Amino acid sequence: MNCHIPSRRNFCIPTVKHHVICRHQIEVEVVPALAEVYFQDERYEDAVDTQVRFTASVYNAPTEKVSWQVLSLAGGPGAGTIDASGLYTAPLKGGHPFTVTDIIVATSVDDPMRKAYVRVTIVGRGPEPLPVPKLEVFPKTAFLYYPEGAHNNHIDKSNTMQLFRTRIHNALNPQIKWYVDNTEKQSGYQDWYLYELSGSGAQKTVRIKASITIGLNTIQDEAVVMQLNYSWPGIV
C-alpha cells in the first residue's frame, strides 16, 4: 500500500494494486502435419507403409494427455483407425476410391475444447485381382464321318468319333456339363467327353459345349464337329 495524496490531518489515502495472474492458453500440436499411407491390402507394398505414428505435444496444460479420433472430410467417421498411442492404420481398399483423405484429431484431455487437426491421405489400387476362372475345350474343330451310308464303310472307325477334353484354369475340380447342340449329354467331374457318330445322315455342323458354374457365374467354351459322308469316284 502506498500513500500518494497527503491529507490535512497527515493521513495517507491508500492506493491498492490488484495483481492478476496471466494464464496461458492450452495449445495442442501434432506431427507430422501431413502423411501418406497405402491401403492395408495394397499389392506389392510393405506393411510398414500402411501405418503412420502421430505424436502430440500439449503446451500450458497439467499433462500432455490427448485423445485421438479419425474423421472424414465430411465430418463423419474416417476410413482408417488410430489407437491410443497415435498409431494410424489404413483401411482395406474395399469400395474406396484410389485416394481417400482422413482427418486426425488430437484433443487435450485437460481441456476438450483445445484440439489439433492433421491430414493423412490413403492411396493405392488395393489387392491384386483374383484370378478369373477359365475353361477351354479342345480340339476346337473335328471332322467325322458317319459309319453307314455313302462310301463311309471305307473310313476307319476312329474317324467316326472324337474325344474332347477341357482345360480349366483357376477353379478346383468343378463339375462339368457337356452339351451337344445345347442338349445336355453328360454331367460330372470328368474332364472329357467322347462324341460318336452312328448310322447315317446328311452333312452338317454340330457344336460341342462344356460349361462349369463358379459361384453365380457360368463359364463355357465350345468346339465344332463337321459330320461328313465319304464319297470316292469310281466306287459303285
Domain ends where: 70, 93, 123?
A: 123
Q: Could you give the dihedral angle defined by the CA atoms of residues 119, 124, 125 and 130, in that order, rounded to the nearest 10 degrees?
A: -110
Q: What is the CATH classification number for the domain harbouring 78?
A: 2.60.40.60
- Is residue 109 located within the same domain as residue 142? no
In a shared domain, residues 82 and 159: no
**Residues 160, 145: contact at Cβ < 8 Å?**
yes
Q: Which domain holds residue 181?
A: 134-228
Residue with cell 489439433: 116
Q: What CATH code is carried by the domain that includes residue 199?
A: 2.60.40.10
Are 85 and 171 in the same domain? no
Domain closes at, from 123, 149, 170: 123
Asked if the structure places residue 3 within a domain, the reply is no
* 104 and 148 fall within a common domain: no
How many domains does one find in the chain? 2
Q: Could you tell me the CA-to-CA distances from 138 to 106, 142, 145 in Å, in that order? A: 64, 9, 19
State which of 78, 94, 123 marks the end of a domain.
123
- Whether 1 is in a domain gets the answer no
Residues 148, 180, single domain; the answer is yes
Q: Give a yes or no: residue 128 inside a domain.
A: no
Looking at residue 21, what is its pLDDT?
52
Q: Does 111 lie in the same domain as 50?
A: yes
Residue at 14 is within a domain: no
d(CA 113, CA 12): 48
Phi and psi torsions of 81, nearest 5°: -130, 160
pLDDT value of position 18: 52
Question: Please, are residues 78 and 103 in contact by the beta-carbon 8 Å criterion?
Answer: yes
* The 87-89 sheet, strands edge to edge: 51-53, 87-89, 81-82
For residues 190, 192, 197, 198, the Cα torsion angle rounded to the nearest 10 degrees is -30
Residues 108-158 have pLDDT tens digits of 999 999 999 999 999 999 999 888 999 999 999 999 999 999 999 889 999
Domain co-membership, 111 together with 142? no
Task: Output the pTM of the full model.
Answer: 0.59
Q: Are residues 116 and 146 in the same domain?
A: no
Q: What percentage of the chain exceeds 90 in pLDDT?
A: 81
In a domain, 161, yes or no: yes
- The verdict on 101 and 69 lying in the same domain is yes
What's the whole-number mean pLDDT along residues 3-20? 53
150 and 118 assigned to the same domain: no
pLDDT of residue 215: 87
Which pLDDT tens digit goes with each residue over 223-236? 999 999 998 876 65
